[in-house]
Structure 1
Amino acid sequence: MLPLQQVLLFAFSALLMVLIPGPNMIYLISRSVTQGKKAGLISLAGVITGFLFHITLVSFGLTAILMAVPYAYTILKTIGSLYLLYLAWQTIKPGSKGVFQTNSNLQPDSTFKLYTVGLFTNLLNPKVAVFYLSLFPQFIHPEYGSVLLQSFFLGCTQIIVSLTVNTLIILFAASVTGWFTANPKWVRIQKWFMASVFGVLAVKMAFDKGKV
Protein backbone atom coordinates (compact mmCIF):
# COMPACT_ATOMS: atom_id res chain seq x y z
CA MET A 1 0.00 0.00 0.00
CA LEU A 2 1.27 3.46 -0.90
CA PRO A 3 2.14 5.79 2.01
CA LEU A 4 -0.53 8.38 2.82
CA GLN A 5 1.88 11.22 2.05
CA GLN A 6 2.39 9.88 -1.47
CA VAL A 7 -1.33 9.49 -2.02
CA LEU A 8 -2.03 13.05 -0.86
CA LEU A 9 0.69 14.44 -3.11
CA PHE A 10 -0.73 12.55 -6.08
CA ALA A 11 -4.25 13.75 -5.24
CA PHE A 12 -2.98 17.34 -5.21
CA SER A 13 -1.40 16.83 -8.64
CA ALA A 14 -4.71 15.42 -9.90
CA LEU A 15 -6.48 18.46 -8.47
CA LEU A 16 -4.21 20.81 -10.41
CA MET A 17 -4.91 18.87 -13.60
CA VAL A 18 -8.68 19.04 -13.27
CA LEU A 19 -8.59 22.77 -12.47
CA ILE A 20 -6.76 23.61 -15.70
CA PRO A 21 -9.36 24.56 -18.33
CA GLY A 22 -9.46 21.89 -21.01
CA PRO A 23 -11.84 20.06 -23.37
CA ASN A 24 -13.53 18.15 -20.54
CA MET A 25 -14.23 21.26 -18.49
CA ILE A 26 -15.46 23.23 -21.50
CA TYR A 27 -17.89 20.51 -22.52
CA LEU A 28 -19.22 19.94 -19.01
CA ILE A 29 -19.76 23.65 -18.38
CA SER A 30 -21.37 24.29 -21.78
CA ARG A 31 -23.85 21.43 -21.30
CA SER A 32 -24.63 22.44 -17.71
CA VAL A 33 -25.26 26.03 -18.75
CA THR A 34 -27.39 25.28 -21.81
CA GLN A 35 -29.23 22.14 -20.74
CA GLY A 36 -29.10 22.04 -16.95
CA LYS A 37 -27.37 20.20 -14.14
CA LYS A 38 -28.72 16.78 -15.10
CA ALA A 39 -27.20 17.05 -18.58
CA GLY A 40 -23.90 18.11 -17.05
CA LEU A 41 -23.86 15.11 -14.74
CA ILE A 42 -24.71 12.70 -17.59
CA SER A 43 -21.86 14.21 -19.60
CA LEU A 44 -19.60 13.79 -16.59
CA ALA A 45 -20.46 10.07 -16.50
CA GLY A 46 -19.09 9.81 -20.03
CA VAL A 47 -15.93 11.69 -19.06
CA ILE A 48 -15.35 9.38 -16.09
CA THR A 49 -15.77 6.33 -18.33
CA GLY A 50 -13.05 7.80 -20.54
CA PHE A 51 -10.76 8.07 -17.51
CA LEU A 52 -11.35 4.38 -16.79
CA PHE A 53 -10.31 3.54 -20.34
CA HIS A 54 -7.10 5.59 -20.08
CA ILE A 55 -6.27 4.08 -16.68
CA THR A 56 -6.74 0.55 -17.99
CA LEU A 57 -4.40 1.23 -20.92
CA VAL A 58 -1.74 2.74 -18.69
CA SER A 59 -2.07 0.06 -16.04
CA PHE A 60 -1.46 -2.72 -18.52
CA GLY A 61 1.29 -0.82 -20.28
CA LEU A 62 -0.41 -0.43 -23.63
CA THR A 63 -0.16 3.35 -23.70
CA ALA A 64 3.43 3.12 -22.48
CA ILE A 65 4.25 0.95 -25.49
CA LEU A 66 2.68 3.54 -27.76
CA MET A 67 4.71 6.32 -26.17
CA ALA A 68 7.92 4.27 -26.45
CA VAL A 69 7.65 4.27 -30.25
CA PRO A 70 9.18 7.60 -31.36
CA TYR A 71 6.97 8.15 -34.40
CA ALA A 72 3.79 7.22 -32.54
CA TYR A 73 4.58 9.66 -29.75
CA THR A 74 5.50 12.40 -32.24
CA ILE A 75 2.18 11.96 -34.03
CA LEU A 76 0.23 12.06 -30.75
CA LYS A 77 2.18 15.09 -29.55
CA THR A 78 1.66 16.97 -32.82
CA ILE A 79 -2.06 16.24 -32.94
CA GLY A 80 -2.43 17.23 -29.30
CA SER A 81 -0.54 20.51 -29.79
CA LEU A 82 -2.53 21.46 -32.88
CA TYR A 83 -5.76 20.57 -31.11
CA LEU A 84 -4.92 22.78 -28.15
CA LEU A 85 -4.00 25.67 -30.48
CA TYR A 86 -7.31 25.15 -32.25
CA LEU A 87 -9.14 25.34 -28.92
CA ALA A 88 -7.23 28.54 -28.06
CA TRP A 89 -8.32 30.13 -31.35
CA GLN A 90 -11.91 28.95 -30.93
CA THR A 91 -11.94 30.60 -27.50
CA ILE A 92 -10.87 34.10 -28.62
CA LYS A 93 -11.87 34.31 -32.28
CA PRO A 94 -14.36 37.07 -33.19
CA GLY A 95 -17.86 36.04 -32.24
CA SER A 96 -16.74 33.21 -29.97
CA LYS A 97 -18.55 32.57 -26.72
CA GLY A 98 -17.06 31.98 -23.30
CA VAL A 99 -17.80 28.74 -21.50
CA PHE A 100 -20.22 30.54 -19.19
CA GLN A 101 -22.16 32.16 -22.05
CA THR A 102 -25.31 30.38 -23.10
CA ASN A 103 -26.22 29.67 -26.70
CA SER A 104 -29.95 29.96 -27.16
CA ASN A 105 -29.71 28.22 -30.55
CA LEU A 106 -28.03 25.12 -29.10
CA GLN A 107 -30.42 22.19 -29.30
CA PRO A 108 -30.77 19.87 -26.30
CA ASP A 109 -28.93 16.57 -26.70
CA SER A 110 -30.30 13.16 -25.82
CA THR A 111 -28.98 11.25 -22.82
CA PHE A 112 -27.06 8.92 -25.15
CA LYS A 113 -25.41 11.79 -27.01
CA LEU A 114 -24.52 13.62 -23.80
CA TYR A 115 -22.81 10.49 -22.50
CA THR A 116 -21.00 9.55 -25.72
CA VAL A 117 -19.74 13.07 -26.45
CA GLY A 118 -18.42 13.29 -22.88
CA LEU A 119 -16.75 9.91 -23.37
CA PHE A 120 -15.05 10.76 -26.65
CA THR A 121 -14.09 14.27 -25.50
CA ASN A 122 -12.01 12.53 -22.83
CA LEU A 123 -10.76 9.65 -24.98
CA LEU A 124 -9.43 12.09 -27.60
CA ASN A 125 -7.81 14.37 -25.03
CA PRO A 126 -4.03 13.72 -25.18
CA LYS A 127 -3.51 15.59 -21.91
CA VAL A 128 -5.02 12.68 -19.99
CA ALA A 129 -2.68 9.99 -21.36
CA VAL A 130 0.36 12.26 -20.98
CA PHE A 131 -0.66 13.08 -17.40
CA TYR A 132 -0.92 9.43 -16.42
CA LEU A 133 2.33 8.42 -18.12
CA SER A 134 4.21 11.38 -16.66
CA LEU A 135 2.95 11.04 -13.11
CA PHE A 136 2.27 7.36 -12.42
CA PRO A 137 5.93 6.23 -12.61
CA GLN A 138 6.86 8.81 -9.97
CA PHE A 139 4.45 7.34 -7.41
CA ILE A 140 4.55 3.62 -8.18
CA HIS A 141 7.19 1.62 -6.29
CA PRO A 142 7.53 -2.19 -6.54
CA GLU A 143 8.45 -2.42 -2.85
CA TYR A 144 4.91 -1.32 -1.95
CA GLY A 145 3.31 -4.32 -3.67
CA SER A 146 1.73 -5.07 -7.04
CA VAL A 147 2.54 -2.42 -9.62
CA LEU A 148 -0.77 -3.12 -11.37
CA LEU A 149 -2.78 -2.60 -8.17
CA GLN A 150 -0.86 0.57 -7.37
CA SER A 151 -1.61 1.91 -10.84
CA PHE A 152 -5.33 1.22 -10.51
CA PHE A 153 -5.32 2.71 -6.99
CA LEU A 154 -3.77 5.94 -8.27
CA GLY A 155 -6.24 5.96 -11.15
CA CYS A 156 -9.17 5.59 -8.78
CA THR A 157 -7.78 8.41 -6.64
CA GLN A 158 -7.61 10.66 -9.69
CA ILE A 159 -11.16 9.73 -10.68
CA ILE A 160 -12.48 10.58 -7.20
CA VAL A 161 -10.76 13.98 -7.34
CA SER A 162 -12.04 14.63 -10.86
CA LEU A 163 -15.57 13.48 -10.05
CA THR A 164 -15.75 15.70 -6.96
CA VAL A 165 -14.33 18.83 -8.58
CA ASN A 166 -16.25 18.47 -11.84
CA THR A 167 -19.51 17.92 -9.97
CA LEU A 168 -18.92 21.18 -8.12
CA ILE A 169 -18.04 22.89 -11.41
CA ILE A 170 -21.30 21.66 -12.97
CA LEU A 171 -23.35 22.96 -10.04
CA PHE A 172 -21.39 26.21 -10.04
CA ALA A 173 -21.70 26.72 -13.81
CA ALA A 174 -25.44 26.23 -13.77
CA SER A 175 -25.90 28.84 -11.03
CA VAL A 176 -23.63 31.71 -12.12
CA THR A 177 -24.49 32.07 -15.80
CA GLY A 178 -26.63 35.10 -15.08
CA TRP A 179 -23.79 36.80 -13.23
CA PHE A 180 -21.39 36.37 -16.14
CA THR A 181 -24.04 37.61 -18.57
CA ALA A 182 -24.42 40.76 -16.48
CA ASN A 183 -20.63 41.25 -16.28
CA PRO A 184 -19.29 40.86 -19.84
CA LYS A 185 -15.82 42.14 -18.96
CA TRP A 186 -15.24 39.03 -16.84
CA VAL A 187 -16.29 36.88 -19.78
CA ARG A 188 -13.57 38.53 -21.89
CA ILE A 189 -11.01 37.98 -19.14
CA GLN A 190 -12.06 34.34 -18.82
CA LYS A 191 -11.80 33.80 -22.59
CA TRP A 192 -8.29 35.25 -22.83
CA PHE A 193 -7.19 33.35 -19.74
CA MET A 194 -8.41 30.08 -21.22
CA ALA A 195 -6.81 30.84 -24.59
CA SER A 196 -3.52 31.57 -22.81
CA VAL A 197 -3.69 28.29 -20.91
CA PHE A 198 -4.41 26.36 -24.11
CA GLY A 199 -1.52 28.12 -25.84
CA VAL A 200 0.95 27.38 -23.04
CA LEU A 201 -0.13 23.73 -22.94
CA ALA A 202 0.27 23.48 -26.74
CA VAL A 203 3.81 24.88 -26.64
CA LYS A 204 4.73 22.71 -23.67
CA MET A 205 3.42 19.60 -25.39
CA ALA A 206 5.15 20.50 -28.67
CA PHE A 207 8.55 20.69 -27.00
CA ASP A 208 8.01 17.71 -24.70
CA LYS A 209 10.58 15.03 -25.48
CA GLY A 210 8.40 12.26 -24.14
CA LYS A 211 10.64 11.25 -21.28
CA VAL A 212 8.58 9.89 -18.42
Structure 2
Amino acid sequence: MALVLKQTLDLLNRSPEFIKANNWRLRVMIGRNSQTSVEVLLQLAEDDSAFVRYAVSRNPNTPQNTAVQAGNPDYFQQLLEEGAVGNNRKQLECLSASHSVKLRQAVASNPNTPRRVMEVLSIDYCPQVRRELARNQKTPERILEVLANDSSACVRVSIAANPKTPRNTKLKLCQDRNRRVQRVAIKYTYSKKW
Protein backbone atom coordinates (compact mmCIF):
# COMPACT_ATOMS: atom_id res chain seq x y z
CA MET A 1 0.00 0.00 0.00
CA ALA A 2 2.84 2.40 0.88
CA LEU A 3 4.53 1.75 -2.46
CA VAL A 4 1.30 2.45 -4.36
CA LEU A 5 0.82 5.68 -2.40
CA LYS A 6 4.42 6.76 -3.07
CA GLN A 7 4.00 6.07 -6.81
CA THR A 8 0.71 7.99 -6.78
CA LEU A 9 2.37 10.94 -5.03
CA ASP A 10 5.18 10.93 -7.60
CA LEU A 11 2.57 10.99 -10.38
CA LEU A 12 0.65 13.77 -8.66
CA ASN A 13 3.72 15.92 -8.21
CA ARG A 14 4.34 15.61 -11.95
CA SER A 15 0.70 15.81 -13.08
CA PRO A 16 -1.62 17.50 -10.52
CA GLU A 17 -4.73 17.18 -12.73
CA PHE A 18 -4.68 13.49 -11.75
CA ILE A 19 -6.27 14.63 -8.46
CA LYS A 20 -9.69 15.20 -10.01
CA ALA A 21 -9.78 11.85 -11.77
CA ASN A 22 -9.78 9.61 -8.67
CA ASN A 23 -12.19 8.79 -5.88
CA TRP A 24 -12.38 10.80 -2.66
CA ARG A 25 -10.83 8.06 -0.51
CA LEU A 26 -7.63 8.17 -2.51
CA ARG A 27 -7.61 11.97 -2.29
CA VAL A 28 -8.02 11.69 1.52
CA MET A 29 -4.97 9.40 1.68
CA ILE A 30 -3.00 11.84 -0.45
CA GLY A 31 -4.15 14.77 1.67
CA ARG A 32 -3.04 13.00 4.87
CA ASN A 33 0.37 11.94 3.55
CA SER A 34 3.26 14.04 4.88
CA GLN A 35 5.16 13.58 1.59
CA THR A 36 2.47 15.31 -0.49
CA SER A 37 3.77 18.52 -2.05
CA VAL A 38 2.41 21.90 -0.95
CA GLU A 39 1.16 22.53 -4.51
CA VAL A 40 -0.99 19.36 -4.41
CA LEU A 41 -2.19 20.14 -0.87
CA LEU A 42 -3.32 23.59 -2.00
CA GLN A 43 -5.35 22.00 -4.80
CA LEU A 44 -6.83 19.41 -2.46
CA ALA A 45 -7.77 22.14 0.03
CA GLU A 46 -10.35 23.29 -2.53
CA ASP A 47 -11.68 19.79 -3.19
CA ASP A 48 -15.44 19.23 -3.36
CA SER A 49 -15.24 16.56 -0.65
CA ALA A 50 -15.23 17.78 2.96
CA PHE A 51 -13.38 14.59 3.89
CA VAL A 52 -10.51 15.54 1.60
CA ARG A 53 -10.40 19.13 2.87
CA TYR A 54 -10.37 17.88 6.45
CA ALA A 55 -7.45 15.51 5.72
CA VAL A 56 -5.52 18.36 4.11
CA SER A 57 -6.14 20.56 7.15
CA ARG A 58 -4.46 17.95 9.36
CA ASN A 59 -1.38 17.59 7.16
CA PRO A 60 1.68 19.25 8.77
CA ASN A 61 2.84 20.53 5.34
CA THR A 62 -0.35 22.46 4.65
CA PRO A 63 0.17 26.23 5.02
CA GLN A 64 -1.52 27.49 8.21
CA ASN A 65 -4.14 29.78 6.61
CA THR A 66 -5.12 27.02 4.16
CA ALA A 67 -5.35 24.45 6.97
CA VAL A 68 -7.71 26.63 8.99
CA GLN A 69 -9.98 27.21 5.99
CA ALA A 70 -9.94 23.59 4.79
CA GLY A 71 -10.37 22.08 8.23
CA ASN A 72 -13.40 24.08 9.27
CA PRO A 73 -15.31 21.56 11.43
CA ASP A 74 -18.57 22.93 10.11
CA TYR A 75 -17.90 21.40 6.66
CA PHE A 76 -19.23 18.00 7.67
CA GLN A 77 -22.28 19.52 9.35
CA GLN A 78 -22.81 21.75 6.31
CA LEU A 79 -22.73 18.71 4.04
CA LEU A 80 -25.36 16.99 6.15
CA GLU A 81 -27.59 20.07 6.37
CA GLU A 82 -27.39 20.68 2.62
CA GLY A 83 -28.25 17.07 1.97
CA ALA A 84 -24.99 16.56 0.12
CA VAL A 85 -24.49 13.21 1.83
CA GLY A 86 -28.17 12.47 2.30
CA ASN A 87 -28.23 9.76 -0.35
CA ASN A 88 -24.62 8.64 -0.16
CA ARG A 89 -24.62 5.56 2.05
CA LYS A 90 -20.82 5.23 2.03
CA GLN A 91 -20.36 8.76 3.36
CA LEU A 92 -23.05 8.19 6.00
CA GLU A 93 -21.20 5.07 7.06
CA CYS A 94 -17.94 7.02 7.37
CA LEU A 95 -19.61 9.84 9.29
CA SER A 96 -21.19 7.37 11.71
CA ALA A 97 -17.69 6.57 12.99
CA SER A 98 -16.91 10.23 13.67
CA HIS A 99 -15.78 11.39 17.10
CA SER A 100 -18.27 14.23 16.80
CA VAL A 101 -21.53 13.55 18.64
CA LYS A 102 -23.31 16.08 16.42
CA LEU A 103 -22.28 14.23 13.27
CA ARG A 104 -23.35 10.87 14.65
CA GLN A 105 -26.66 12.45 15.68
CA ALA A 106 -27.11 13.77 12.14
CA VAL A 107 -26.39 10.32 10.68
CA ALA A 108 -28.79 8.68 13.17
CA SER A 109 -31.59 11.05 12.16
CA ASN A 110 -30.97 10.69 8.42
CA PRO A 111 -33.67 8.57 6.72
CA ASN A 112 -31.12 7.22 4.21
CA THR A 113 -28.81 5.73 6.82
CA PRO A 114 -28.22 2.03 6.07
CA ARG A 115 -29.66 -0.53 8.47
CA ARG A 116 -26.26 -1.89 9.52
CA VAL A 117 -25.15 1.64 10.48
CA MET A 118 -28.36 2.08 12.47
CA GLU A 119 -27.59 -1.15 14.31
CA VAL A 120 -24.17 0.21 15.30
CA LEU A 121 -25.62 3.58 16.32
CA SER A 122 -28.24 1.82 18.47
CA ILE A 123 -25.45 0.91 20.89
CA ASP A 124 -23.60 4.24 20.70
CA TYR A 125 -22.27 5.36 24.07
CA CYS A 126 -23.99 8.74 23.72
CA PRO A 127 -27.72 8.77 24.56
CA GLN A 128 -28.31 11.78 22.26
CA VAL A 129 -27.24 9.67 19.28
CA ARG A 130 -29.53 6.81 20.32
CA ARG A 131 -32.34 9.34 20.88
CA GLU A 132 -32.01 10.64 17.30
CA LEU A 133 -32.13 7.07 16.04
CA ALA A 134 -35.26 6.48 18.14
CA ARG A 135 -36.89 9.55 16.55
CA ASN A 136 -36.02 8.48 12.99
CA GLN A 137 -39.18 7.11 11.33
CA LYS A 138 -37.05 4.96 9.01
CA THR A 139 -35.47 3.05 11.89
CA PRO A 140 -36.48 -0.63 11.56
CA GLU A 141 -38.98 -1.97 14.09
CA ARG A 142 -36.48 -4.48 15.45
CA ILE A 143 -34.08 -1.67 16.40
CA LEU A 144 -36.94 0.37 17.89
CA GLU A 145 -37.85 -2.60 20.06
CA VAL A 146 -34.26 -2.90 21.29
CA LEU A 147 -34.09 0.83 22.03
CA ALA A 148 -37.31 0.55 24.07
CA ASN A 149 -35.13 -1.15 26.71
CA ASP A 150 -32.48 1.60 26.65
CA SER A 151 -31.08 2.80 29.98
CA SER A 152 -31.74 6.43 29.03
CA ALA A 153 -35.26 7.76 29.61
CA CYS A 154 -34.86 10.32 26.78
CA VAL A 155 -34.35 7.45 24.32
CA ARG A 156 -37.41 5.58 25.62
CA VAL A 157 -39.50 8.80 25.41
CA SER A 158 -38.48 9.14 21.74
CA ILE A 159 -39.40 5.51 21.09
CA ALA A 160 -42.82 6.09 22.66
CA ALA A 161 -43.41 9.17 20.48
CA ASN A 162 -42.23 7.58 17.22
CA PRO A 163 -45.29 6.73 15.08
CA LYS A 164 -43.43 3.75 13.59
CA THR A 165 -42.92 2.05 16.96
CA PRO A 166 -45.02 -1.13 17.14
CA ARG A 167 -48.10 -0.92 19.38
CA ASN A 168 -46.98 -3.77 21.64
CA THR A 169 -43.71 -1.90 22.33
CA LYS A 170 -45.64 1.26 23.18
CA LEU A 171 -47.90 -0.73 25.50
CA LYS A 172 -44.82 -2.02 27.28
CA LEU A 173 -43.55 1.56 27.66
CA CYS A 174 -46.87 2.51 29.30
CA GLN A 175 -45.59 0.42 32.23
CA ASP A 176 -42.11 2.04 32.25
CA ARG A 177 -40.44 2.88 35.57
CA ASN A 178 -40.05 6.53 34.47
CA ARG A 179 -43.23 8.62 34.71
CA ARG A 180 -42.37 10.81 31.72
CA VAL A 181 -41.88 7.75 29.53
CA GLN A 182 -45.23 6.42 30.79
CA ARG A 183 -47.06 9.68 30.01
CA VAL A 184 -45.66 9.94 26.49
CA ALA A 185 -46.30 6.26 25.79
CA ILE A 186 -49.92 6.55 26.98
CA LYS A 187 -50.44 9.71 24.94
CA TYR A 188 -49.09 8.21 21.71
CA THR A 189 -50.54 4.74 22.24
CA TYR A 190 -54.12 5.73 22.86
CA SER A 191 -54.35 8.89 20.76
CA LYS A 192 -53.81 7.02 17.50
CA LYS A 193 -56.33 4.60 16.07
CA TRP A 194 -54.76 1.20 15.45
Q: Structures share a fold, TM > 0.5?
A: no
Greater RCO, CA 8 A, separation 6+: 1
TM bucket (normalised to shorter chain) is under 0.3
- Normalising by structure 1, what TM-score? 0.19
- Normalising by structure 2, what TM-score? 0.21
Larger fraction in helix? 1
